[in-house]
Amino acid sequence: MQNAVENGVCRICGSIAEAGQPVPYALPYGTVLHGCYLLGAVLGAGGFGITYIALRLPEGRRVAIKEYFPVEAAFRETGDTVVVSSAGGAEAFRRGREQFLKEAQTIYGLRGYPGIVSVEKLFEENNTAYFCMEFLDGQDLKHRVAQAGGRLSAAEAMQTFSPVLDALDYIHKREVIHRDVSPDNIFLCRNGGVKLIDFGAAYARSRDDLSKIQLIVKQGYAPVEQYYQDGNVGPWSDLYALASTMYFCLTGTVPQNALQRAQKDELMPPTRLGAAIPASVEAAILKGMSVERGGRFSSAAEMKLRLLASAGETRAISGETAPAKSLLLLLRQGTDQIKGAFQRKTSAERSASRAVNPQAQMGIFCASGVYVGNTFPLTDEPLLLGRDSSRCGVVFPPDASGVSRVHCEIRANAAARCIVVRDVGSRYGTQIVEGTLLREGQEQMLPVGAGFLIGKEYFTVVLVEHGQS
């Protein structure tokens, strides 16, 4: 055991350590695991495990260590050994440990994706199992809501949930269901990143009675199917939980329990609880919270696109979008800017009664992304979009997420009053809002008001008056 405490303070995290660990059955300060992890204070503990801050020796890098410790089936004897509490609990302990390692392997298989906590090492020791994760510096969403006075602004909420939807889309495509999306398990890093954490809800698959499953069901966030061992759990379950989390963040109120809603649905719409959001955004949240899974979104990508489409009411003549409706602008603007956006009258609205100029040129308007606010006139000559400055007419920075070197080409079809979007072999595809994902060689005609995304760059089709750029 090494010295992790100096003058009554944990030298790893700075917490007061004179009275020992805050969790009585936790490993003591200074315990060394796997020959290289020096444990500090407990970061958190639940029914199935304990998470510690630690130093990776010899370099002194901070990490987090999660230990399998089911409080109902285990206790700690002399030293660091974990043993089961009874012969009857031995099998449950063994199965739980296997599931714990599966959780670690699941997260390890998702490593490299920035929106998911990263696992770097799995090992067994002390008759139990551990895994080492990246240490996250910041706070979870539940604490952030409390810090903000009980609810978040629409701007901050959308900035938070956009990357979470991306993370859910990523894991669902790999047949992983989180099963415990909630304010506790969305982590806001000091560097501005947002991470989905704690994949421990996979334990539900290994439990035989409902009382055990109930231990990992979060009231107000879990959908009705997660209350039953044989419930049909899938991506739609995570989307219910995420929509419920959005509801909480915008209203400051934990939603009505799903089982209660199944009997008598008394869920109040967010705007009736004071949430300042457009009706279309409210409708998207309530769709995600449908009690019956058939009423929910089928994928995280669909849910995100619906929220993006809720930006809506694209006014085409001037090339501007109505900011009062623009969820995309919410992703970029601060609270004061949003208030101004809801009050500002767009030039499109000012010119709504004006006849459309038949000589107006087709164009695309960037509603969100690197070129936000810019309009690009189009001709029948293809305009390439991508990161390659030697080939593309609209060039994105090297670190533009989801944008390929040469991503897509856009050209005008003036006779049809539309544009043609064609994917030219991008790695990620070109997403038509409320439409299909275009792959290499596929193209689609889009009328005025339609939209498409490449990575996080969102464009709408507009008419450009002469003199506008």
Are both 146 and 126 inside the same structural domain? no
* CATH number of the domain where residue 142 is located: 1.10.510.10
pLDDT of residue 456: 76
Are both 305 and 364 inside the same structural domain? no
The residue among 285, 311, 337 that closes a domain is 311
Are both 274 and 404 inside the same structural domain? no
* CATH number of the domain where residue 113 is located: 3.30.200.20
Within a domain: 319: no
pLDDT of residue 6: 56
Percent of the chain with pLDDT over 90: 42
Are both 376 and 268 inside the same structural domain? no
What is the 3-state secondary structure of the chain?
CCCCEECCEECCCCCECCCCCCCCCCCCCCCEECCCEEEEEEEEECCCEEEEEEEECCCCEEEEEEEECCCCCEEECCCCCEEECCHHHHHHHHHHHHHHHHHHHHHHHCCCCCCECCEEEEEEECCEEEEEEECCCEEEHHHHHHHCCCCCCHHHHHHHHHHHHHHHHHHHCCCCCCCCCCHHHEEEECCCCEEECCCHHHHHHHCCCHHHHHCCCCCCCCCHHHHCCCCCCCHHHHHHHHHHHHHHHHHCCCCCCHHHHHHCCCCCCHHHHCCCCCHHHHHHHHHHCCCCHHHCCCCHHHHHHHHHHCCCCECCCCCCECHHHCHHHHCCCCHHHHHHHHHCCCHHHHCCCCCCCCCCEEEEEEEECCCCCCEEECCCCCEEEECCCCCCCEECCCCCCCCCCCCEEEEEEHHHCEEEEEECCCCCCEEECCCCEECCCCEEEEECCCEEEECCEEEEEEEECCCCC
- Does residue 128 register a pLDDT over 80? yes
pLDDT of residue 452: 87
Domain range holding 38? 5-134
* CATH number of the domain where residue 384 is located: 2.60.200.20
- Does residue 387 register a pLDDT over 70? yes
Are both 292 and 158 inside the same structural domain? yes
Q: Which residue has the higher pLDDT, 77 or 404?
A: 404
Are both 294 and 153 inside the same structural domain? yes
pLDDT band for 423, please (50, 70, 90 cuts): very high
Are both 167 and 23 inside the same structural domain? no
- Does residue 360 register a pLDDT over 80? no
pLDDT of residue 415: 83
Are both 112 and 81 inside the same structural domain? yes
This prediction's pTM: 0.63
pLDDT band for 431, please (50, 70, 90 cuts): confident
Within a domain: 203: yes
pLDDT of residue 124: 93
The residue among 281, 311, 341 that closes a domain is 311
Q: Which residue has the higher pLDDT, 464 or 269?
A: 269
The residue among 134, 157, 186 that closes a domain is 134
Are both 148 and 290 inside the same structural domain? yes
Provide the number of structural domains found in the chain. 3
In tens, the pLDDT along 228-240 reads 777 889 999 999 9
Are both 90 and 219 inside the same structural domain? no
pLDDT of residue 318: 28
Are both 181 and 285 inside the same structural domain? yes
Are both 286 and 235 inside the same structural domain? yes
